Structure 1
Amino acid sequence: MTEPFDFSWMVGREIAVVQLSEPDQWVFGFEASVGIGAECPWRILKNGVIAISSEDHKQQYGLAAPLDAAEVAAEILASHAISQVEVREGTADLVIKFSGGLRLEVIPISSGYESWGITAPSGYQVVAQGGGELSGWSK
């Protein structure tokens, strides 16, 4: 499943922007038109524990104001370079490891809907289809 897809171009790069396009399209961008779009749950682990997730967005948890998960994620990932990218066979879970003990996990949960997509600097696109398969094409 993952062999024909090369994600090595991400190694050494940093996430420049994290944003939510309502209602449910999360963007982890490297530069204009290059990045990851997720329409499924994601989480960031810091030293092996969950630091923030898409499910935390707009939750107050007794704080002074509700959390902005995009803002928190951007702060956590700032200045951390990607060291490894893995797509898990069978589920298409996207696991991106960063310097500083950080890990972004994008977790597909649908057997029918597309869950995430990546656009490379070359314009090549990869999409995680429902059921855990990947599909790719050039524009």
Structure 2
Amino acid sequence: MSESGFAEHEDRWILGLRDLTVTKISVDHQLSLLLGSDACVVLECPCQLSQESAAKGGPQEMLDPARQDVAAALALFGAKVVSAVAFKTGTLRLAFDNGLQLNCRADPSFEAWQVTGPRGWRFVSLPGGDLAVWSGSEPTG
């Protein structure tokens, strides 16, 4: 892991968000999760919230921020991030200590999500399935 807490791999970035707590949830045309005081996840396209057991047929909820259909996301308040991965295909996967997982895929036409972190880090899912990364100075996407 790099000094910043973010680490690049061949197909993904490990985001330095582990152990950060969801301290605020806000909704307008997007769903925003404030993590601690230095990081924020903004979701603008439909995404899936599920229990870790979803792969085995557990419950899953679709969240649609544009329609403010995000009530299920309230269960994330106070949860700690245990894993945060931004795939270079534009998909974001967050896992929380309460057993919930949030998955947001790239959108063909819009920026589906973005994550901002400490010291100017920014990750953005670009339209069509690509990932742009700013390390506080210049994009590396």
Fold similarity call, TM over 0.5: yes
| Conserved 8 A contact 2:63-2:69 | no
Percentage of matched positions with identical amino acids:
19
| Conserved 8 A contact 2:30-2:66 | no
Return the alpha-carbon distance in structure 1 between the equivalents of residues 21 and 14 of structure 2: 17
Who is 2:27 aligned against? 20
Who is 2:4 aligned against? none
Which structure 2 residues correspond to residues 1-139 of structure 1 after superposition, within 5 A?
A: 3=9, 5-7=13-15, 9-21=16-28, 24-32=29-37, 34-46=39-51, 47-48=53-54, 49-55=58-64, 69-70=70-71, 72-74=72-74, 76-90=75-89, 92-110=90-108, 112-137=109-134, 138=136
More relative contact order in 1 or in 2 (CA 8 Å, sep 6+)? Answer: 1
| Conserved 8 A contact 1:57-1:69 | no
What 5-or-longer segments of structure 2 have no aligned partner?
Answer: 1-7
Runs of 4+ that moved beyond 2 A: 2-6, 31-34, 49-53, 55-58, 67-70, 86-90
| 1:106 CA drift (Å) | 1.5
The TM-score, its normalising length taken from structure 2, stands at 0.70
Corresponding pairs, count: 123
